[in-house]
Amino acid sequence: MIGADPVTVLGTMSGTSMDGVDAAVLVTDGERILRFGASAYRPYGEDERAALRAALGRWPGEAGVDAAAAMVERAHLEVMGGLIEGVTLAGFHGQTLAHDPDGARTHQAGSGDALARALGVPVVWDFRTADVALGGQGAPLAPFYHFALARHIGGDAPVVFLNLGGVGNLTWVDPAAARPEDPGALLAFDTGPGCAPLDDLLRARRGQPRDEGGALAAAGTPDLEVVRAMLAGRYFLKLPPKSLDRDGLGDLVGAVAHLDDADAAATLAACAAAAVGEAVSLCPRPPARMLVAGGGRHNRALMAMIAAAVDCPVAPVEDAGLDGDMLEAQAFGFLAVRVARGLPTSCPGTTGVAAAVGGGQISRP
C-alpha cells in the first residue's frame, strides 16, 4: 500500500480494437489529477494482431494463449521502458481475450510479474477479476477516472464520456457528488458496437486497418433494417450496468455482406451511433454535453451520426483540453494508484457489482 501523497504513475491500455499499446504518465493521488505527463504509442504489427485474433475467445491454458500473452508483454515493455524514468508505480491492463461476466470470469492476457521484474517498479494488473467474482460485469473500469476528469475540467453539470474503441462504452458523471462510489455519482456501461465491426469490414474487404476519417461511411447509405435488427437484440433489452465482449452482438460484418463497401461501412457506423443514442436514453438525467475519446472520434461520419442521435452537444475530448488517444491508458494509471491505496475501483453504478470494490493484483520487482 502507498500513502495519500501524489505519485508519478505509468498506465497502459491495449483495447479491443487490437491496434497497439497506449502508455501515459500522470501525477495523481488516485482522487485528483495533478498533472499529465509524457505518452507514447506502440502499434501492433500484422503478425502480432494475427496472434491476438487467433487467441480471441480463449482462456488460460488453451491453444495460442501463451504465445499471445508473451507478445503482449514484449510490446508493453518496449513502450513502457521509454517512459519509466521517474515513475514509481505502473498499471498494466493487458489484452482482453475473453470476457464472460455471467460466468464470473474474464481473461486479460499478460502478467504483471514479468513487467515488474523488467521495469523495476511495482505493477498493478488483473483489474477486472475481483469485480466479476463479486457479481459485477468487470467493465467498464474507466468511470472512476472519468469522475476525476469531470472535476479536473471544472464540470458543474452532468457530462457523458463516450469511449469509441472496438466496443463503445459510456460514463454518465455527476461532478457534484462527493465521491465516485456514492449513489448517483456514476452510471457506466457498454453501449454496443464501437469501431471493431467497421475495422473488421475494412480489413476483410480492402486490406485497410480502418475507415480513415470516415470517408467510406460518409459515401454510403445505411441499411436501417440491419440497424433495427441489431437494436432488437437481447443486449439492448438489458438495463445497465452491462458489458459486452468484442463480438458479443454476433456477426455484424456478416449482416452487411449484401451491401457494397460504402453502404456496409455506413451501416456499421449507424449501428454504433444508434447504440449510443439508446444508451443516452438510459442516463439518470440528460447530460449537458458528450465528450468522445478513442479512435472512433476521428471518424467524422460516425461523429455526425452520434450528434444526430443524441440531444446534447457532442465533441472530442480535446475540446476540454484532454487527450482522447491516451484517456484509457491514463485511467489504468489512475486506477493503479487507487488499488495501491486500497480505494475502490468499481461500484454498483459502474459494473453492477454488489458493493464498491477495489480490484487488481500488485506485482513487485
User: Tens digits of per-residue pLDDT, 99-132?
Assistant: 888 899 999 999 999 999 999 999 999 999 999 9
Same domain, 333 and 201: no
Q: What is the largest CA-CA distance in the chain?
A: 58
Same domain, 333 and 279: no
Residue 12, domain member (yes or no):
yes
Residue 299, domain member (yes or no):
yes
Could you give the count of Cα atoms lying within 13 Å of 300 in the half-sphere of its Cβ?
Answer: 6
Same domain, 295 and 352: no
Same domain, 312 and 342: no
Q: Which three cell numbers stand for residue 200?
A: 473488421
Same domain, 57 and 183: no
Same domain, 201 and 309: yes
CA 256 vs. chain centroid, Å, equals 25
Closest C-alpha to 255, from 277, 222, 215:
222
Pairing of strands 123-125, 361-363: antiparallel
> Do the beta carbons of residue 251 and residue 196 sit within 8 Å?
no
DSSP annotation of 239 reads: P
pLDDT given at position 216: 98
The domain in which residue 44 lies consists of 7-139+326-363
pLDDT given at position 18: 87
- Over range 250-274, report the average pLDDT: 97
Q: Identify the band that residue 269 occupies on the pLDDT scale cut at 50, 70 and 90.
A: very high
Q: Please give the share of the chain, as a percent, with pLDDT higher than 70.
A: 100
pLDDT given at position 244: 83
Same domain, 231 and 260: yes
**3-state SS, residue 171:** strand
| Rounded CA separation 26/34 (Å) | 8
Of 303, 320, 337, the domain-final residue:
320
Residue 2, domain member (yes or no):
no
Residue 111, domain member (yes or no):
yes
Q: Identify the band that residue 139 occupies on the pLDDT scale cut at 50, 70 and 90.
A: confident
- Over range 44-65, report the average pLDDT: 95
Residue 146, domain member (yes or no):
no
CATH for 260: 3.30.420.40
Give the range among 61-75, 170-184, 235-249, 314-328 with minimum mean pLDDT.
235-249
Per the prediction, the chain carries an average pLDDT of 95
Residue 230, domain member (yes or no):
yes
* Backbone CA torsion sign across 4, 38, 19, 301: positive
Of 320, 337, 355, the domain-final residue:
320
| Rounded CA separation 360/156 (Å) | 31
DSSP annotation of 56 reads: T
| Rounded CA separation 46/19 (Å) | 9
Same domain, 170 and 131: no
pTM confidence score = 0.93
Residue 16 has pLDDT above 80, yes or no: no
pLDDT given at position 15: 83
pLDDT given at position 241: 85
Residue 364 has pLDDT above 90, yes or no: yes
Secondary structure E strands in the chain: 7-14, 20-28, 33-43, 89-100, 105-109, 123-125, 159-164, 167-173, 186-193, 289-293, 314-316, 361-363
Same domain, 129 and 179: no
> Do the beta carbons of residue 145 and residue 245 sit within 8 Å?
no
Residue 107, domain member (yes or no):
yes
> Do the beta carbons of residue 234 and residue 156 sit within 8 Å?
no
Q: Identify the band that residue 242 occupies on the pLDDT scale cut at 50, 70 and 90.
A: confident
- Over range 18-24, report the average pLDDT: 94
Of 305, 320, 335, the domain-final residue:
320
> Do the beta carbons of residue 200 and residue 253 sit within 8 Å?
yes
Residue in the block written with cell 476525476: 148
Residue 1 has pLDDT above 80, yes or no: no
**If you write DSSP's letter for every residue of 76-101 in order, what string do you get?**
HHHHHHTT-TT--EEEEEEEEEEEEG
Same domain, 341 and 293: no
pLDDT given at position 289: 97
Same domain, 281 and 170: yes
Same domain, 358 and 236: no
State the total domains in the chain. Answer: 2
Residue 186, domain member (yes or no):
yes
* Triad 19, 20, 25: Cα angle to 5°: 135
